[in-house]
Copies of this chain bind each other. A is one copy, B any other.
Amino acid sequence: MSVLETRLGQVGLPNPIMTAAGCGGAGRELGRFFDVAKLGAVVTPSIMSEARAGRPAPRLAETPSGVLNATGLQGPGIGTFLSRDLPWLNEQGARTIVSIAGNSVREYAEVAGRLADAPGVTAVEINTSCPNVEDRGLMFAAHPSAAAEVVRAVRAHTRRGVPVLAKLSADVTDVVGVAMACVDAGADGLSMINALHGMAIDTATLRPRLAGVTGGLSGPAIRPVAVRCVYQVHAALPEVPIIGMGGVRTGLDALELLLAGASAVAVGTVNFHDPSACVRILRELDGALRERGIGRLSDIVGLAHKPAGTLIRRIDPNVGVDEPIEQETLQ
């Protein structure tokens, strides 16, 4: 299984597949379907300083190959997270990436500060798509300087060995600019993409389908946007590890993001559709790499940027693979 090992800055992970923030609960829920320690990591829902009730229902709407959500970051707050959820994840032997959120730079810093001494935090992911109450509710992710300010504050409150990842939104004119600002401000890696800003209207009631009016569009529908963002940012910042996400449904989808430049891949919305998705995708990815004669995951990170004809065995789409694929490795 060593073929699947990957790195996010200072830390190594046994494999690149993880849950996406807010799409895999705190681990317990999916833990009824598989052992969460088998994943590269579990990314938690974005944790804020206090408990949050979230938005009223309806919170989700189905769209073609996608889902719109306005859940409003319902969660228990950092206190309960540290006393209840994180210990459970540690007990399972899971690697935990804690996603954090805030409505001001101070709130991010506060949450990061409370995480600093917690055991078993593999990395901190900053959800920069929150509205900044100190700047007309504009999301931090919208402006390089605002995103950078949050990154700087969180980096300052986080222990050295723990990577800080900035999670970016694709709803910007220039995602590379935001990415660069975050890296300059100390981000050890980047996660992308968050859900796109979207909306749906119910043609029966003639009203918005979400109580929150607009929401985040996720799922396979947005995968091409995710691939494009990862590709662009990897081209500009080839040394910066990226967690790619957006519509990953199969092992080949995960491979697509790796080829674009991601070092790890998170699975979000598809968990709703298939609670075993993460382990299935991991198995499929393992098979796909073997099929292509890829010995190490790191060999293919960003490979789509390189001219055709490197060492990897490309598969003739007209023929497929001759040898039966070994599927023994996982589980």
Interface residues of A (CB under 8 A from B): 63-66, 68, 142-143, 171-174, 196-208, 214, 217, 219-225, 227-228, 231, 247, 249, 252, 255-256, 259-260, 288, 292, 300, 303-304, 308, 312, 314-317
Contacts and interface: CB of A to CB of B under 8 A. Distances in A.
Interface centre among A68, A205, A249, A304 (most CB of B within 10 A): A304
Contact of A199 (B200, B207, B221, B227): B227
B63 A64 contact: no
B208 A66 contact: no
Please state the number of chain copies in the assembly.
2
Contact of A197 (B214, B228, B304): B228
A11 to B, nearest CB: 26
B314 A224 contact: no
Given A142-B173, A206-B303, A200 B68 contact: no
Contact of A206 (B201, B217, B221, B259): B259
A200 B221 contact: no
Contacts of A198: 224-225, 227-228
A182 to B, nearest CB: 15
Contacts of A228: 197-199, 214
A203 B255 contact: yes
Contact of A64 (B200, B247, B317): B247
With most chain B CB atoms within 10 A of its CB, the pick from A66, A172, A196 is: A66
B308 A221 contact: no
Nearest to A203: B252
A224 B217 contact: yes
A66 B224 contact: yes
A156 to B, nearest CB: 27
A142 B204 CA distance: 35
A144 to B, nearest CB: 10
Contacts of A312: 206
- Quick one: which of A174, A220, A228 has the most chain B CB within 10 A? A228
A231 to B, nearest CB: 6
Contacts of A224: 63, 66, 68, 196, 198-200, 217
Contacts of A314: 204-206
A269 B312 CA distance: 35
Given A66-B221, A173-B173, A221-B66, A260 B206 contact: no
Nearest to A303: B206
Given A172-B172, A203-B256, A208-B304, 17 more contacts: A64-B219, A64-B220, A64-B221, A66-B224, A68-B224, A142-B174, A171-B173, A172-B173, A199-B224, A203-B255, A203-B259, A205-B314, A205-B315, A205-B317, A206-B300, A206-B303, A217-B224
